[in-house]
Amino acid sequence: MGRYTEMLHYAIAPFSMTLDTSQTSSERDQAEAKFWLTPVRLHSNKGFSRKEINRIQKQVEENQEQLLEGWHDFFNG
């Protein structure tokens, strides 16, 4: 999968405040949203509309397995 992936024109990257919680960060322009991956749920949103958040969350849910794999590869080596 690589470190970053593009989904619907959003950059999706591994993110974690601690290594025991898998999260992903989605960015576009000045906007940023962070999602927990297990289970998928919104952690924070700065600048995305509700419609965009719903679209991003759907993409995160549909790609949860690959995002978790990329998260583990990124943080665990």
Residue 52: domain span: 5-76
Q: Count of domains in the chain?
A: 1
* pLDDT grade for 2, boundaries at 50, 70 and 90: very low
**Cβ(47)–Cβ(23) under 8 Å?**
no
Question: Token match 């749920």: residue?
Answer: 41
**pTM of the predicted model, to two decimals?**
0.74
Measure the CA–CA gap between 7 and 66, rounded to whole angstroms: 13
**Cβ(8)–Cβ(77) under 8 Å?**
no
pLDDT, tens digit, 9 for 90 and up, residues 23-60: 777 778 889 898 988 999 999 999 999 999 999 899 88
Give Cβ neighbours of residue 51 (< 8 Å, ≥ 6 apart). Answer: none
